[in-house]
Structure 1
Amino acid sequence: MPTDAKGAEPGGRAAGFALAFASSIGLGLAVAVARIAFEGGTDGQSVATVRAWFVVLLVGLWCVASGRGLRVDRRTWLHCVGLGTLLGYMFFGNIGAVKFIPVGVAALLFFVYPPLVAVFTAILDRRWPGLLRLTAFLIAFGGLAVMLGVGFERLNPVGLALGLGAGVAAGIQVTWTSRVMKGRDSLVVMFHMALTAAVVLSVAVPAITGLTPPATTLGWIGAAGVVLLQGCSIPLYFAAIPRIGAETSAIINNLQPVTSIVAAFLLFGEAMTASQFAGGAMVIGGILLLQLAGRRG
């Protein structure tokens, strides 16, 4: 994948790997902890809105403390507006799906994004993906079909739409980011993306569903956990991309659904069905094969 070779910053690979690993573990834990927040009375829209403003505050302070200027040129700002709108949906969809479907299924649905990044890249580069990549696509999407095909009627369609929608949004955003943000400070870009996402959610959520705070102490703990885990992890992921590239970041990010599934089992005793486990293994296997194909290419 061209973005991996062109997007990596020399000398920053060790830091990039550390950032990507920390981000993946934090994001995986956040998906599982979200269930505690929802059982405590809050909802995905409310958590997503608070989390967006937390990211704005965190990244903004980080930029100021490190001496970065927050001003960007008009073209970069317009890109940030588009990317931030997608980020707002990702903030909501990835976590919001957990209210309607099992944690493991929600985590794996989001991981439609790595194959989509490869598809979008092949289309934009106007090149045939190759037999190995094509096989990886078929395995990953076949796994998704297996995971959802058996017992599909028992899975809430709202949760499925939120989870898959977040994955599609991530695929578009990662492709977009890796192509137009080269040479720009990733933290400053992240600040403007998060600010856009926060403004969009702050307008849309009160108007459509309203803000719903947790009703129990445990709900507040769960909501705070999601905000802290995702709020700290998302900037780390975007900071890793320019250091090790979009493809390598996506490989490491495969730890996210594994972390979510293990955490859901430990916290709630939530086990996946045999078909969901088999489908999830196919999804992860297809993603790893896709990354191998990119390396060989």
Structure 2
Amino acid sequence: MSAGFLLYFKLIGSVLFWGGTWIAGKILAGHLSPYNAGFLRFFFASFFMFFMVKKFTGHYPRITKKQFFPVVILGATGVFLYNILFFTGLETVEAGRASLIIAGTPTVIAISSALLFKEKFTFPKILGFIISLTGVALVIARGNPLDILHQGMTNGDLCILGCVVTWAAYSIAGKKTVDIVSPVEAVAWSCFIGTVMLLPFAISHDLFSQAASAGLIDWASLLYLAIMGTGLAFSWYYEALQVIGASKTGIFINLVPVTAVVLGYFCFGELMGPTVIAGGALVIGGVWITNRN
């Protein structure tokens, strides 16, 4: 097996693993509180990332005073807040539908970067943002965006939209953080810190009793999220990022919601109507337009 083939195999594997996180998250959302599900996921992921840092950098995770505050921001946004909103939203929102809403995140990141970091604010970015936003509105409203104005959104939809905001914040903060911390160490430290932040909330939500009563499927889902969806997926993605660059690897991210929709259909029988599929196509198309350069 050639090195190039293996690299793309890992990249596709990371996309499939990320698509599967929506299925595992949906399973856990019905059995564990969002705080407990998030804590247990990143508790195990932290152990895995500890050794992955050693593999990628040649040393175990370390940090300086200068690096501490930036990685705290990463842990607070990308792990603590994101996972509370992720598991809360999946209590009521279908896995495939939620993944299509989240798919608009890269466009939000691109527009935010243009505003905050004075990156070139081009017409394709504006067009892509409008198209993605239209697609998200179609998915949320199931075909009639005007219903949002009259009926509002459900708490589940608001939580999934919150995931878009927190992940965008995590990514924007990460753009500066990776200047002073290696990418894999930034992921590891965000896991460590986010886990610590989640701990007191998990304990107050019956962590030990819920963990003791969790079934085999729940534990399998947690380990999947920790090892496959966090440790391996991020590590493989960063490995590809270093070799073939951000533009080529970024294209594959558009396959994550597609994978989640297909898995949602086969695992839960979630049916995606034509308007939801059309909305998802608009979201992914808008992302491509925004990031095509």
The counterpart of 1:174, out of the listed 165, 171, 174, is 171
Question: Contact 2:75–2:189 at 8 Å: present in 1 too?
Answer: yes
Q: Once structures 1 and 2 are overlaid, which stretch shifts more, 227-236 or 196-205? A: 227-236
Q: Deviations over 1:56-113 (max 9, x none)?
A: 1011122345631422221112111111111222233334422211111111122231
Structure 1 unpaired stretches of 5+: 1-11
Task: Report the Cα distance in structure 2 between the residues aligned to 1:82 and 1:14, rounded to whole angstroms.
Answer: 36
Q: What one-letter code is carried by the residue in structure 2 that aligns with 1:252?
A: F
**Residue of structure 2 in register with 1:62 after alignment:** 52
Residue 74 of structure 1 pairs with residue 65 of structure 2: yes
Task: Report the Cα distance in structure 2 between the residues aligned to 1:146 and 1:204, rounded to whole angstroms.
Answer: 35
Task: Report the Cα distance in structure 1 between the residues aligned to 2:230 and 2:26, rounded to whole angstroms.
Answer: 17
Distance 1:242 1:184, change over 3 A: farther
**Residue of structure 2 in register with 1:6 after alignment:** none
**Residue of structure 1 in register with 2:95 after alignment:** 103
Residue 221 of structure 1 pairs with residue 220 of structure 2: yes
Task: Report the Cα distance in structure 2 between the residues aligned to 1:16 and 1:90, rounded to whole angstroms.
Answer: 29
**Residue of structure 1 in register with 2:190 after alignment:** 193
Question: Contact 1:19–1:237 at 8 Å: present in 2 too?
Answer: yes
| SS of equivalent to 2:90 | helix
**CA shift at 1:258, angstroms?**
0.8
| SS of equivalent to 2:290 | helix
Q: What one-letter code is carried by the residue in structure 1 that aligns with 2:109?
A: V
**Residue of structure 2 in register with 1:274 after alignment:** 274
**CA shift at 1:16, angstroms?**
7.2
Question: Contact 2:11–2:240 at 8 Å: present in 1 too?
Answer: yes
**CA shift at 1:231, angstroms?**
3.0
**Residue of structure 1 in register with 2:28 after alignment:** 37
**CA shift at 1:49, angstroms?**
0.6
**CA shift at 1:206, angstroms?**
2.6
Give 1:77-96 correspondences, 5 Å limit.
Answer: 77-88=68-79, 89-96=81-88
Q: What one-letter code is carried by the residue in structure 2 that aligns with 1:182?
A: D
Q: Deviations over 1:18-69 (max 9, x none)?
A: 5543322101112113333344x22332221111111210111223456314
| SS of equivalent to 1:173 | helix
**Residue of structure 2 in register with 1:123 after alignment:** 115
Q: Once structures 1 and 2 are overlaid, which stretch shifts more, 256-265 or 14-23? A: 14-23
Residue 146 of structure 1 pairs with residue 147 of structure 2: no
Question: Contact 2:101–2:139 at 8 Å: present in 1 too?
Answer: no
Task: Report the Cα distance in structure 2 between the residues aligned to 1:204 and 1:247, rounded to whole angstroms.
Answer: 38
Question: Contact 2:254–2:284 at 8 Å: present in 1 too?
Answer: yes
**Ranges of 4+ aligned residues in structure 1 off by more than 6 Å:** 12-16, 153-156
- % of aligned pairs identical? 19
TM-score in terms of structure 1 length: 0.82
**Residue of structure 1 in register with 2:201 after alignment:** 204
| SS of equivalent to 2:271 | coil
Task: Report the Cα distance in structure 2 between the residues aligned to 1:177 and 1:234, rounded to whole angstroms.
Answer: 14
Question: Contact 2:100–2:139 at 8 Å: present in 1 too?
Answer: no
Structure 2 unpaired stretches of 5+: none
**CA shift at 1:204, angstroms?**
2.5
Task: Report the Cα distance in structure 1 between the residues aligned to 2:152 and 2:96, rounded to whole angstroms.
Answer: 12
Question: Contact 1:143–1:278 at 8 Å: present in 2 too?
Answer: yes
Task: Report the Cα distance in structure 1 between the residues aligned to 2:169 and 2:250, rounded to whole angstroms.
Answer: 13
Task: Report the Cα distance in structure 1 between the residues aligned to 2:249 and 2:169, rounded to whole angstroms.
Answer: 15
Question: Contact 1:20–1:253 at 8 Å: present in 2 too?
Answer: no
| SS of equivalent to 1:101 | coil
Task: Report the Cα distance in structure 2 between the residues aligned to 1:15 and 1:156, rounded to whole angstroms.
Answer: 43
**CA shift at 1:185, angstroms?**
2.2
TM-score in terms of structure 2 length: 0.83
Q: Once structures 1 and 2 are overlaid, which stretch shifts more, 41-50 or 262-271? A: 41-50
Residue 165 of structure 1 pairs with residue 162 of structure 2: yes
